[in-house]
Amino acid sequence: MTVASDIRAKTPDELNTMLLDLRKEQFNLRFQRATGQQENTSRVKAVRRDIARVKTILAERTRAAAKV
């Protein structure tokens, strides 16, 4: 789980890379669940929320840049 203040400190390129990595992890977790190999089921929820945090901060920055 990542704290929002840590995410805000990153550059937009780092955020996009982080988002890509989280989506890959989410895919792998879904694949593990489908094959019955998943051990840590709470990780699915944590990854989903981290993706939402990153997307929210990216959207905030996009809106702030559009306003200026």
Q: How far is CA 51 from CA 14, 15, 28, 36, 37, in A?
A: 13, 10, 14, 24, 23
Is residue 10 within 8 A of residue 35, CB to CB? The reply is: no
Residues 6 or more apart whose CB falls under 8 angstroms from that of 28 comprise none
Which one-letter DSSP state was computed for residue 1?
-
Band (68; pLDDT cuts 50, 70, 90): confident
- On the question of pLDDT at 7 being above 90, the answer is yes
Full set of structural domains in the chain with CATH: 4-67 (1.10.287.310)
Q: Give the pLDDT confidence of 14-60 residue by residue, as tens digits.
A: 999 999 999 999 999 999 999 999 999 999 999 999 999 999 999 99
